[in-house]
Structure 1
Amino acid sequence: MAHTRVIVFICLQFISALAWTSVAQTKNMSADTTRLKHHVMTMSHDSMRGRRAGYEGEQKTASYIENQFQNIGLSPFIGTSYLQPFLLPRGRINASSYVIINEDTLRYLTDFSTYEVPEKRSEIESDMVFLGYGIDGPGKSYDAYGGNDVHGKIVVALQPSLIDRTRLGEPLNYDHMQLASWARTRGARGLVLLENNPGSNKKRFNSASYSEVYRPFSDNFFWISIQNGYAFIQRYFNITQERIEPVMKLTAPVRINTRIDGYWLKSANVIGKLEGTDLANEYIVVTAHYDHIGVGKKINGDSICNGMLDNASGVATMLEAARMLYSSQTKPRRSVLFVATGAEEMGFIGSQYFTDHLPIPQSQIIANINLDITGYYYKSEEPYVTLLGAEYNNMGDFIEDAADESGVRVGSNTIPSFFYRSDAVVFARAGIPSIHIACGLPISEMKSGMEYFMNYYHQTTDELYKAPVSFKIMAGQTETVARSIIKIADHDKRPVITSDLDSEKWMSWREAWGGFRMWVGGLFE
């Protein structure tokens, strides 16, 4: 009995010491704004050419991250290399491709560009069917499909503008991926998506290079996006904006002919490991994608989409958090993998490859923290984080505690679908508790989010000294991330999944990435 009391006393003392050490460790963390700025400047510099997946700029950025991992002291995770290479199926549409609607011929690089590939050679002649807002009805306030048979046809759907959503209510809060998924599920050959947020798309469409396409699929699902949907409807369906209803059916003929020249490119994930202590065989994975969209059309003398916020900032936050943890006197109990993912902009290809090709049993990965867009400045330099995916697990409790210690405000996520637009959803889909820290983008304040997407997202303006960034904010967010890692790594219990993913939102993104997406501009600008 005496021995038992001694053992219990020693165990309690050990646990108490671990808890005290973890608290002390997190309170002494401080991010270096000079380092953060250097990382962001380097990765978003013009010499990186927008870090388009598979090209020299992305490869140079991967080398930079690899060197940083080495300098910090992180170990390779796969053999002796920090790199996990993978291939990208790519293609380029032939200049002879066209879209014909009535008497109008839309020409490649004049009127449209492509984003996804059906087959190397595809031709379709069918009817376009305008179904209002294109909402697939069961259980929803609007049922655009109803008894309409769209099999083999091209669905035309109007994506509600912010004004429409305010006027008609929450049932219209569906993104373009969801609309594409519904069209595919109903057997449509494609979707013409009509967008109508004034000014939000023209800059974005003209800034990015969509001449290169990827992810070939054999089902020939075409996805066309028109930036002035009201003009499109009036021209081809003879109906004015005032007469548009959420549910309606109108038809017009369309003919689409494409030819794709296919090839392969190389990309890679960059992975560094911080070894844990008594639970070293369990891992927390911290991810941040380092690719961007590359070079596009020249606007105001600039054609490089630098991706300073998206996502040089997130990688900088990850690198500085890794340095802070490695430099700490006490190492985390669990090991931490820092993964800079490639080809996220092409449909989470790098993160999917990572989860599909783990050199360890997946059961040893206990959590994922994903970082995308940090340091975004909006009105105030008060550090701010939004947690996306917190409704699916209990990781939010750890991060909220870390944010409180870091003096960082935590906001609620009012647009749940954003979680499904990040690498985090790949881990969640694999059954790993995952959370996306949308650092510095107060999504709960819609005006801030729309300002970012309208003025900077995938544009040449996402560049240092053009886009609003605060390294003070980024430092607070970085400290929150580092403290969150420690709290999760040192806790006796693993994070747990508390609810299932929204399968409809997940499938809409996975299916939509398999579509054929064309950004149409010239005819309706």
Structure 2
Amino acid sequence: MNKNLLILLFAALFACQPASETSEVKISEESLKAHIQVLSSDDFQGRKPFTEGEIKTVNYLVDQFKAYGLEPGNGNSFTQEVPLVELTAIPSETMTIEGNGQTVELNVLEDFVAYTERVVEETSLDASELVFAGYGVVAPEYGWNDYEGLDVKGKTVVVLVNDPGFASGDSTFFKGETMTYYGRWTYKYEEAARQGAAGCLIIHETVPAGYPWLVVRNSWSGASLYLDQSGENYQPNVLGWITRDAAIKIFEASGQDMTNYAEMSRSEDFKPFSLGLNASVSVKNKIKRDQSQNVIAKITGSERPDEYIIYSAHWDHLGVGQEIDGDSIYNGAHDNASGTATMLGIAEAMSKMETKPKRSVVFLAVTAEEQGLLGSKHYAQNPVYPPSQTVANINMDGITAWGPMKDLTVVGYGQSELEDIAQKVAEQQGRYIMPDPDPGKGYFFRSDHFQFAKVGIPALYASGGYEHMTKGVDYVDSLNQVYLSTQYHRPQDEYNPDYWTFDGMALDGELLMKVGLEVANSNDWPKWKEGSEFKAIREQ
């Protein structure tokens, strides 16, 4: 055979091979940049649910998925309706604590915040008995039950923030300084609801909470969004926080010796008890209902189409708000146009592979993360794909655009076997894997993967953000400090061409894509690790 003809035949044969089998499928840096510039532009008005910014964002995402040739992810639709209700809570000016011959008056915002998730115009606690329930934790895997032998129906529980392991000095007690699910304030309210309590008040302290009282009073003042699930789930009448000083006043009025209430509450001998006091407070609501949208697209698996890997990222941000330094549009370039753009980059790259994954891959852009992970919560409660058939979730929230990183930081390190796969891929990229350096803040419970974890689906939340490939740790730390102090949840979270680059974002995207593809092409089901509070849910 003619040598040149042979070369041409080999070249033609090589060209016909699927890209996924002959070369690395790369994520386009230009695409990432374009997505972020569009999504974080002033024209998108900060991407808040119920605004023109939501309409533009949802249309943009649907158009991109269609352009990549992806299938609708919810039957014939690319969207899933998420019914939301906006409640503007107006609590009474005071909370009155009476009993034991004592009266304590607490002032709203100064001493307490109060609200309700009940979709009602008014609710209250009327001389509701106060019960101290320690950390308010029921954790079978740790042999811990703060409600054991206690009937709190119609009563108000007073509980501590974080979990018994915090500040215990024992890394084997719960998870030591690493916050567990049981330490999150959301868990406290959920458990109080399961116990049938009429109210739940969390005692705030800055160190175990991870944020000052100012954050509490600002977060629970004004309008908030919730899932509109009236009548479906029991909710206490009143939820709230009290300051440490207010708690001490209550404890003193009870006549109980509670000098070391935190230490007492982490003792294995702790038993909940009535404070001998009653609380009265009321909450009025302004109510507004509307629909928001999750966006869902899919690549159907070639061999096991009824098993699913779900990539998630929240598309929303804070919209138009208080003016800061002459700007009132909260663009959310890092939070979370970056994660949404990375998910689009993965979807585009996978769409170009001629050999499709064996399991189905789903791309889920969720709404209302900033209002309490509501879009992902709605999906978890109303799944398009059954949790029992969902193999894994890979979540993207805040992908660093400051260049390639040596690290892959795993939030919730030690939770699932997905991080073992991620470590292997990171090493192939010449990178190392590391735990979240600040595990006491409970970041694992503060993004959308948490809602998947709560229904038992192993979840990975990881990206580079500690050590730059060439500029080191201090360079990244300085940018992190600037972001947290001057840009996070402010209008200044904008695309900055002076130092934003997309090579690191593409590197993270390719890593997360490879993790997803390995799971998609495997027969294995990644598991939760021993000690994970979600392991028992999956095994059920």
TM-score (norm 1): 0.71
Aligned AA (1:211): A
1:284 positional shift: 2.7
Q: Deviation per CA, 1:129-183, whole angstroms, max 9, x where unpaired?
A: 4748535488879987687765533333342699972668755742323333444
Contact 1:122 1:259 in 2 (8 A): yes
Q: CA RMSD in A?
A: 4.8
Partner of 2:95: 100
Aligned AA (2:26): S
Partner of 1:460: 490
Contact 2:298 2:363 in 1 (8 A): yes
Aligned AA (1:180): Y
User: CA–CA distance in 2 between the matches of 1:56 and 1:111?
Assistant: 35
Partner of 1:116: 117
Q: Deviation per CA, 1:439-459, whole angstroms, max 9, x where unpaired?
A: 2367xx9x98x9799758973
The answer to whether residue 200 in structure 2 is matched with residue 191 in structure 1 is yes
Partner of 1:490: 521
Partner of 2:9: none
User: CA–CA distance in 2 between the matches of 1:137 and 1:367?
Assistant: 26
Give the match's secondary structure for 1:438: strand
Partner of 2:7: none
Change (3 A) 1:162 1:478: farther
1:497 positional shift: 3.7
The correspondence of residues 24-423 of structure 1 with structure 2, limited to 5 A, is 24=21, 28-78=24-74, 80-93=76-89, 95=90, 97-101=92-96, 104=105, 106=107, 112=113, 114=115, 116-117=117-118, 119-126=120-127, 129=130, 131=132, 133-136=134-137, 150-159=152-161, 165=167, 170=173, 173=179, 174-197=183-206, 200-201=211-212, 204-205=215-216, 210-215=222-227, 216=230, 218-226=234-242, 229-238=243-252, 243-246=259-262, 247=264, 253-279=278-304, 282-294=307-319, 297=322, 305-328=330-353, 330-346=355-371, 348-354=373-379, 365-375=390-400, 381-386=405-410, 388=412, 391-392=415-416, 394-412=417-435, 418-423=443-448
Aligned AA (1:398): I
User: CA–CA distance in 2 between the matches of 1:124 and 1:399?
Assistant: 49
User: CA–CA distance in 2 between the matches of 1:142 and 1:99?
Assistant: 34
Contact 1:408 1:480 in 2 (8 A): no
1:318 positional shift: 0.4
Contact 1:388 1:435 in 2 (8 A): no
Contact 2:415 2:529 in 1 (8 A): yes
Q: Which moved more, 1:312-321 or 1:73-82?
A: 73-82
Q: Which moved more, 1:416-425 or 1:214-223?
A: 416-425
Aligned AA (1:212): S
1:46 positional shift: 4.6
1:266 positional shift: 0.9
Aligned AA (1:289): H
User: CA–CA distance in 1 between the matches of 2:217 and 2:328?
Assistant: 10
User: CA–CA distance in 2 between the matches of 1:22 and 1:364?
Assistant: 28
1:320 positional shift: 0.9
User: CA–CA distance in 2 between the matches of 1:376 and 1:269?
Assistant: 25
User: CA–CA distance in 2 between the matches of 1:313 and 1:53?
Assistant: 18
Give the match's secondary structure for 1:51: coil
Change (3 A) 1:416 1:332: farther
Q: Deviation per CA, 1:421-479, whole angstroms, max 9, x where unpaired?
A: 444354455565x322232367xx9x98x97997589732771369x976443222111
User: CA–CA distance in 1 between the matches of 2:367 and 2:382?
Assistant: 14
1:69 positional shift: 1.6
1:340 positional shift: 0.8
Q: How many residue pairs end up in the alignment? A: 475
Change (3 A) 1:90 1:483: same
Structure 1: runs of 5 or more not aligned: 1-16, 508-525
Partner of 1:435: 459
Structure with the higher fraction of residues in helix conformation: 1
1:364 positional shift: 5.9
User: CA–CA distance in 2 between the matches of 1:219 and 1:162?
Assistant: 25
1:391 positional shift: 3.9
1:367 positional shift: 3.5
User: CA–CA distance in 1 between the matches of 2:482 and 2:144?
Assistant: 30
1:337 positional shift: 2.0
Change (3 A) 1:123 1:62: same
User: CA–CA distance in 2 between the matches of 1:143 and 1:135?
Assistant: 8
Q: Deviation per CA, 1:10-32, whole angstroms, max 9, x where unpaired?
A: xxxxxxx9xx979755x623333
1:224 positional shift: 0.9
TM-score (norm 2): 0.69
User: CA–CA distance in 2 between the matches of 1:330 and 1:151?
Assistant: 57
Q: Deviation per CA, 1:199-255, whole angstroms, max 9, x where unpaired?
A: 8345645765742343455543422124xx33323455459xx94432377565532
Contact 1:126 1:153 in 2 (8 A): no
User: CA–CA distance in 2 between the matches of 1:207 and 1:69?
Assistant: 37
Aligned AA (2:84): L
Identity value in percent: 25
Q: Deviation per CA, 1:383-422, whole angstroms, max 9, x where unpaired?
A: 4241648744x43443333223333432246579654544
Contact 1:390 1:435 in 2 (8 A): no
1:126 positional shift: 2.7
Structure 2: runs of 5 or more not aligned: 1-13, 97-102, 266-272, 467-472
Aligned match for 1:476, one of 507, 514, 524: 507
